[in-house]
């Protein structure tokens, strides 16, 4: 598939380039200097300067910025209070499924909550005891590996620091050879001059008194008291949250959305379900990964396998880098205790395999194909929350950001957070297509077409992507913000894309559609039996800025449906009857325009002139969404005039008109 728009062609050369072969029916684009119709009648020079200025910041925008700054400052300076509360809320989300399961066993609410909290405390205590025992055992076994550790340290030092020292020594020697000899130092003063020199201060040493046993105990236990105190507060607050979940939910609804109970209730339920599912799934995956790593490291022979398995399970709560911290520690120990490097290499490979399997297979199955956050958002959130709340913020960064993204789906003022941090595409396929054309990047637009056509038929791609993108482009033309040169480049790029998509194979999608129709009990549309006796459909574009591209697309789809067609231009039809090509070969006329829904006067006049020249010939008008009862100002009461709202309807109407057209009326002169 060739790249559209060669960079060696100027816009005018590309614009005037003739088209040959099976695309000879495609018509040239209107010249760039032709004035556009519709609501924009400015000249190209004036249109180039008619870009509307951006709106000025409002008081609401300023208030939003100030509110955001205040919230961030509150999170930073109030972290001593907010961290335990946040941990309690997230722990309640984790324990909520267990409490609900116990309640289904007809246990009282208080007893269910106490059992869940007690199980959590016992699990944490067991993990802490396991880690402590493994650390003590590993510290006791380290003297056995002293010789291997010293040998590895000497080897690493010789290969790294030793080479660096020798290199620095040679560099210093070379520098001394090229550096001039410094002048001799001035003679020291003697006699009276020496007596006049200021005296040096006498050094003073400060001795701290030996600490008392109470001070030693306080210094030893102070690092442990603070986490225990925080943990106790978290457990107490978690119990109260679980006891009053319904009451807290009602209070949140009353504060944030009593006017729209449905929206607020949906937001709260969505957030709680997402967080509960996320925590339970992540806990299950992390525990499984830790268990597999512990068994595998024990099989490899790494001492302290249970320690590294527990560390890996805990550190996996830290996004992206957590498990690799445990991997580095285990690899360093494996390299230190063995003279060879075999154990270290196998340890690193085992960590890589387990992480790939967990990240690419287990997590997508449990979390779904989407966790709700983009990878960049996870990294940025980790940096932001670790800056605010330190290591605890790093662990809580993903669930907290997931809460914010979920909230942004239901609060209009926070919707920008969902766009920035969520994993949903920021632009629709149609917007992306038009943006690539605006950026003069038709190659990327063609690559997007290849990606989309893997999951959708060509006719749906034209309908849902290209035509929707042309709707944005048409609005820009009517506003007068597209210069004539850029408009010509967009048209030429679109025609090149249409030509490159000529060879797309839709047989697989057609087979899937037929299979789905049979499965649902629907009738399968039989292909049209179009006679091959010279009958053809004449495709006439409107005079809109992109109607020539629309006509090229329609002609391509008709030819793919084995419906012979030919094309002309709006100017030829307006100026001379010769624009109708060979009237003896035309059996149906198709008028296509993006202006069809609005039905401007020129389009009504075009249909009327065509009807005057071919009173007995079927005329199909499309291809924008419309209803038959709208009338459009076109003579729809005429049995020979049909409206097509979609491309599929247009192709079917053309095929039907071609097969049913009487031979005598078809050969009537225009």
What whole-number distance in Å separates Cα of residue 161 and Cα of residue 444?
49
pLDDT of residue 382: 85
Do both 534 and 630 map to the same domain? yes
Do both 421 and 317 map to the same domain? no
Q: Is residue 319 part of a domain?
A: yes
Which run of H or of E encompasses 80?
Answer: helix 79-104
pLDDT of residue 73: 92
Do both 304 and 417 map to the same domain? no
pLDDT of residue 46: 39
What whole-number distance in Å separates Cα of residue 462 and Cα of residue 445?
13
Q: Quick one: which of 285, 277, 349, 350 has its CA closest to 316? A: 285
What whole-number distance in Å separates Cα of residue 317 and Cα of residue 282?
8
* pLDDT, tens digit, 9 for 90 and up, residues 73-124: 998 899 888 888 988 988 888 888 889 889 888 889 889 999 999 998 998 8
Query: Is residue 296 within 8 Å of residue 354, measured between CB atoms?
Result: yes
Range of the domain at 652: 528-670
187 SS3 class:
coil
Do both 395 and 417 map to the same domain? yes
Q: What is the DSSP letter of 616?
A: T
Q: Is residue 172 part of a domain?
A: no
> Within 10 Å of residue 154's Cβ, how many Cβ atoms?
11
Helix axes of 547-560 and 647-660: crossing angle, nearest 10 degrees: 60
Parallel/antiparallel/unpaired status of strands 536-541 and 586-592: parallel
What whole-number distance in Å separates Cα of residue 465 and Cα of residue 434?
9
Tally of structural domains, the chain: 5
Do both 273 and 238 map to the same domain? no
What whole-number distance in Å separates Cα of residue 96 and Cα of residue 245?
10
User: Would you say how long the chain is, in residues?
Assistant: 670
* pLDDT, tens digit, 9 for 90 and up, residues 22-77: 333 443 344 444 434 333 334 333 344 444 445 555 677 788 788 888 988 998 89
> Within 10 Å of residue 441's Cβ, how many Cβ atoms?
14
Do both 117 and 238 map to the same domain? yes
pLDDT of residue 350: 92
What whole-number distance in Å separates Cα of residue 481 and Cα of residue 565?
35
Do both 467 and 438 map to the same domain? yes
End-of-domain residue from the set 526, 547, 582: 526
> Within 10 Å of residue 613's Cβ, how many Cβ atoms?
16
HEC states along 371-387?
A: CCECHHHHHHHHHHHHH
> Within 10 Å of residue 218's Cβ, how many Cβ atoms?
12
Backbone phi and psi for residue 223, each to the nearest 5 degrees, phi listed first: -65, -20
Tokens matching residue 602: 């020129």
End-of-domain residue from the set 426, 442, 462: 426
What whole-number distance in Å separates Cα of residue 108 and Cα of residue 98?
13
What whole-number distance in Å separates Cα of residue 294 and Cα of residue 310?
8
Do both 540 and 665 map to the same domain? yes
**What sign results for the dihedral spanned by CA atoms 117, 122, 125, 127?**
negative
Residues in Cβ contact with 517 at an 8 Å cutoff, skipping those fewer than 6 apart: 523, 524
**What sign results for the dihedral spanned by CA atoms 135, 138, 140, 142?**
negative
End-of-domain residue from the set 318, 344, 366: 366
- Which CATH number do you get for residue 569? 3.40.50.280
Backbone phi and psi for residue 422, each to the nearest 5 degrees, phi listed first: -75, 170
Low-confidence ranges of the chain (pLDDT < 50): 1-53, 369, 524, 578, 581-582, 625-633, 635-637, 663-670
pLDDT of residue 156: 67
Tokens matching residue 36: 């556009």
Query: Is residue 520 within 8 Å of residue 641, measured between CB atoms?
Result: no
This prediction's pTM: 0.61
Q: Is residue 461 part of a domain?
A: yes
Query: Is residue 405 within 8 Å of residue 275, measured between CB atoms?
Result: no
pLDDT of residue 188: 64
pLDDT of residue 7: 41
What whole-number distance in Å separates Cα of residue 272 and Cα of residue 124?
24
41 SS3 class:
coil
Do both 535 and 631 map to the same domain? yes
**Cα distances (angstroms) measured from residue 337 to each of 145, 147, 151, 201, 325:** 5, 8, 10, 52, 19
Do both 497 and 538 map to the same domain? no
What whole-number distance in Å separates Cα of residue 32 and Cα of residue 483?
9
DSSP codes joined into one string, 258-305: TT-HHHHHHHHHHHHHHHHHHHHHHHHHHHHHHHHHHHHHHHHT-SSH
DSSP codes joined into one string, 93-135: HHHHHHHHHHHHTT--HHHHHHHHHHHHHHHHHHHHHHHHHHH
Do both 332 and 283 map to the same domain? yes
Q: Is residue 9 part of a domain?
A: no
| HSE-CB of 547 using CA atoms within 13 angstroms | 28
Q: Is residue 233 part of a domain?
A: yes
Q: Quick one: which of 416, 546, 556 has its CA closest to 490? A: 546
Q: Which residue in the block uniquely carries the two structure tokens 């109407």?
A: 653
| HSE-CB of 495 using CA atoms within 13 angstroms | 27
What whole-number distance in Å separates Cα of residue 357 and Cα of residue 350?
11
Backbone phi and psi for residue 538, each to the nearest 5 degrees, phi listed first: -95, 125
Q: Is residue 62 part of a domain?
A: no
426 SS3 class:
coil
Do both 549 and 619 map to the same domain? yes
Query: Is residue 403 within 8 Å of residue 271, measured between CB atoms?
Result: yes
């Amino acid at each position: 598939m060739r790249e559209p728009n060669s960079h060696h062609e100027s816009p005018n050369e590309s614009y005037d380039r003739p088209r040959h072969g099976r695309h000879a029916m495609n018509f040239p684009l209107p010249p760039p200097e032709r004035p556009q119709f519709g609501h924009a009648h400015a000249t190209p020079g004036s249109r180039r300067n008619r870009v509307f200025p951006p709106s000025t910041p409002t008081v609401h925008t300023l208030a939003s910025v100030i509110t955001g700054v205040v919230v961030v400052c509150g999170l930073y300076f109030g972290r001593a209070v907010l961290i335990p509360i946040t941990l309690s809320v997230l722990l309640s989300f984790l324990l909520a499924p267990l409490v609900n399961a116990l309640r289904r066993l007809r246990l009282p609410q208080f007893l269910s909550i106490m059992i869940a909290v007690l199980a959590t405390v016992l699990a944490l205590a067991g993990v802490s005891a396991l880690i402590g025992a493994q650390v003590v055992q590993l510290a006791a076994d380290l003297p056995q590996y002293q010789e291997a550790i010293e040998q590895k340290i000497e080897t690493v030092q010789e290969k790294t620091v030793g080479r660096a020292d020798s290199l620095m020594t040679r560099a210093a020697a070379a520098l001394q050879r090229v550096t001039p000899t410094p002048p001799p130092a001035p003679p020291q003063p003697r006699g009276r001059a020496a007596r006049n020199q200021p005296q040096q201060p006498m050094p003073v040493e400060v001795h701290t008194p030996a600490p008392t046993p109470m001070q030693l105990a306080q210094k030893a236990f102070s690092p442990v008291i603070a986490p225990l105190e925080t943990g106790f507060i978290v457990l107490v607050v978690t119990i109260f949250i679980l006891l009053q979940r319904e009451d807290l939910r009602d209070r949140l609804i009353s504060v944030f959305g009593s006017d729209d109970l449905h929206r607020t209730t949906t937001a709260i339920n969505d957030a709680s379900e997402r967080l509960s599912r996320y925590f339970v799934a992540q806990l299950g995956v992390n525990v499984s990964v830790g268990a597999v790593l512990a068994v595998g490291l024990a099989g490899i022979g790494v001492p302290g396998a249970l320690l590294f398995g527990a560390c890996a399970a805990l550190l996996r709560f830290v996004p992206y880098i957590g498990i690799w911290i445990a991997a580095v520690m285990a690899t360093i120990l494996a390299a230190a205790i063995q003279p060879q490097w075999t154990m270290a290499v196998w340890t690193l490979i085992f960590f890589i395999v387990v992480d790939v399997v967990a990240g690419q297979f287990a997590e997508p199955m449990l979390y779904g194909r989407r966790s709700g956050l983009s990878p960049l958002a996870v990294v940025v959130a980790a940096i932001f929350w670790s800056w605010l709340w330190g290591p605890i913020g790093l662990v809580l960064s993903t669930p907290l950001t997931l809460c914010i993204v979920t909230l942004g789906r239901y609060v209009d003022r926070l919707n920008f957070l969902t766009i920035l941090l969520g994993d949903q595409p920021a632009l629709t396929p149609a917007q992306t297509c038009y943006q690539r054309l605006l950026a003069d990047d038709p190659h990327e637009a063609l690559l997007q077409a290849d990606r989309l056509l893997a999951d959708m038929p060509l006719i749906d791609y034209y309908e849902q992507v290209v035509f929707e993108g042309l709707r944005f482009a048409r609005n820009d033309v009517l506003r007068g913000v597209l210069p004539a040169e850029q408009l010509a480049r967009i048209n030429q790029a679109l025609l090149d894309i249409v030509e490159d998509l000529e060879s797309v194979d839709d047989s697989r999608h057609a087979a899937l559609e037929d299979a789905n129709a049979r499965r649902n009990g629907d009738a399968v549309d039989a292909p049209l039996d179009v006679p091959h006796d010279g009958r053809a459909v004449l495709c006439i574009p409107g005079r809109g800025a992109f109607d020539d591209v629309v006509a090229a697309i329609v002609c391509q789809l008709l030819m793919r449906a084995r419906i012979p067609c030919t094309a002309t231009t709006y100017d030829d039809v307006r100026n001379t009857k010769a624009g109708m090509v060979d009237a003896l070969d035309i059996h149906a006329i198709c008028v296509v325009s993006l202006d069809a829904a609005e039905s401007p006067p020129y389009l009504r006049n075009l249909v009327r002139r065509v009807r005057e020249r071919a009173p007995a010939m079927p005329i199909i008008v499309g291809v924008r969404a419309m209803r038959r009862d709208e009338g459009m100002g076109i003579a729809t009461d005429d049995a020979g005039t049909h409206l097509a709202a979609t491309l599929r309807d247009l192709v079917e109407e053309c095929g039907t008109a071609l097969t049913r057209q009487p031979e005598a009326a078809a050969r009537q002169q225009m």
